[in-house]
Amino acid sequence: MREFGYRRADDVTGAVALLDADPGARYLGGGTNLVDLMKTGVERPARLVDIRRLPLDGIELTDDGGLRIGATVTNSDLAAHPEVRRRCPALSQAVLAGASGQLRNMATVGGNLLQRTRCGYFADVTKPCNKREPGSGCPAIEGEHRNHAILGASEHCVAVHPSDMAVALSAFDAVVSYQTADGPGELPLADLYLPVSDTPHRETALPRGALITAVTLPAAPVAARSRYRKVRERASYAFAIGSVAAALEVHDGVVRDVRLAFGAVASRPWRAHAAERALVGSPADAEHFAAAADAELAAARPLPDNAYKVTLMRNLVVAVLTDLAQEAAR
């Protein structure tokens, strides 16, 4: 591991000023991703600015009944919070489906959003990888890509974003607040992650040195009946090979409102707008759920070894929406 300086930030202004002054500096949240990648040499910061003790660890109700979640709230505290569980159970479920009890105690909301891909070539500094070393190539396309992207990828990178939490946040139109030396700013989560294109090393639209301060979920009554379902290769403590965050409102057997987002299929959480459009106003039954999934997955461009994900996602969408429709009927 490269040697590095360490400073614990006392306040947001101080943290941002430290990053602004030193291009080699990085924020340290729980460290569960950054420290891991520093050990393997993928990340080589010259200085860490520890933000975990900043007073950004609260969860508040906003005036309109939404939720404002501080960036240093731990994944554990987020998942256990009664208002989160009441207003958006899918968010609590998504966080609980990720990592382990120990890791969720350490991991922060900001760090979870900005965690890097788990692509094996990215993690191995002896291999080429466009994301880690622009222009070096993407061995995953010809090599190991069972858990890589089927949507929105490019010939330069087919990695997926590994976060479960971000999938639930994207289904409910979360907004990311940040601070830079020039002042505060906001980005819808939908615009946080950049398209892959030929620049897979440029992952987010955050300005340089930006400190994420909070994530806000606008009020959405539909979120009160929501679920997160994750498929993985063992029962627990593993990353998703496919996941769905969903919410559904049904009246007289007809879909009134629906939210759908997919995980582990793209370089970012994938909001399924096409599926949502197909569903609103149609009968809430398995046939229409499947048709909606197909509408979204028509854009899928799988590789030889990850075509299974297309079927997996279709089945997941039908299963989750069927559960929600049954719950609505009770």
Partner 1 sequence: MHPSTSSTVTLNINGEKHQLSLDHRTTLLDALRERLDLTGTKKGCDQGQCGACTVLVDGRRTLACLQLAVAAEDQEITTIEGMARGGELHPVQQAFLELDGLQCGYCTPGQICSAVAVLEEHAAGWPSAATEDVRPEHGPPELTDEEIRERMSGNLCRCGAYVSIVRAVARAAAQQDESAKEEAA
Ligand X SMILES: Cc1cc2nc3c(=O)[nH]c(=O)nc-3n(C[C@H](O)[C@H](O)[C@H](O)COP(=O)(O)OP(=O)(O)OC[C@H]3O[C@@H](n4cnc5c(N)ncnc54)[C@H](O)[C@@H]3O)c2cc1C
**Contacts to ligand X by CB under 6 A:** 26-34, 36, 51, 71, 75, 98-99, 103, 106-108, 110-112, 114-115, 162-165, 211-212, 239
130 binds, among ligand X, ligand SF4, partner 1, none (CB under 5 to 8 A by kind): ligand SF4
* Residue 122 within binding range of ligand SF4, rule CB under 6 A: yes
* Residue 264 within binding range of ligand SF4, rule CB under 6 A: no
Q: Residue 80 Cβ, how far from partner 1 at the closest point, in Å?
A: 4
Instruction: Please enumerate in sequence order all residues whose Cβ is within 8 A of that of 272, keeping only pairs 6 or more positions apart, or say none.
Output: 260, 261, 262, 292, 296, 317
Sort strands 47-50 and 25-28 into parallel, antiparallel or unpaired. parallel
Q: Residue 139 Cβ, how far from ligand SF4 at the closest point, in Å?
A: 5
By CB under 8 A, how many residues form the interface with partner 1?
A: 43
Q: How many CA atoms lie within 13 A of 44 on its CB side?
A: 6
308 binds, among partner 1, ligand SF4, ligand X, none (CB under 5 to 8 A by kind): none
3 binds, among ligand X, partner 1, ligand SF4, none (CB under 5 to 8 A by kind): partner 1
Instruction: Please enumerate in sequence order all residues whose Cβ is within 8 A of that of 105, keeping only pairs 6 or more positions apart, or say none.
Output: 74, 75, 76
Distance of alpha carbon 155 from its chain centroid, rounded?
Answer: 22
Reduced to 3 states (helix: H, G, I; strand: E, B; else coil), residue 252 is coil
Kindly provide the b/e burial profile for residues 25-53, where b requires at least 16 CB atoms within 10 angstroms of the residue's own CB: bbbbbbbbbbeebbeeebbebebbbebbe
157 binds, among ligand X, ligand SF4, partner 1, none (CB under 5 to 8 A by kind): ligand SF4
* Residue 307 within binding range of partner 1, rule CB under 8 A: no
CB 150 within 8 A of CB 263: no
* Residue 130 within binding range of ligand SF4, rule CB under 6 A: yes
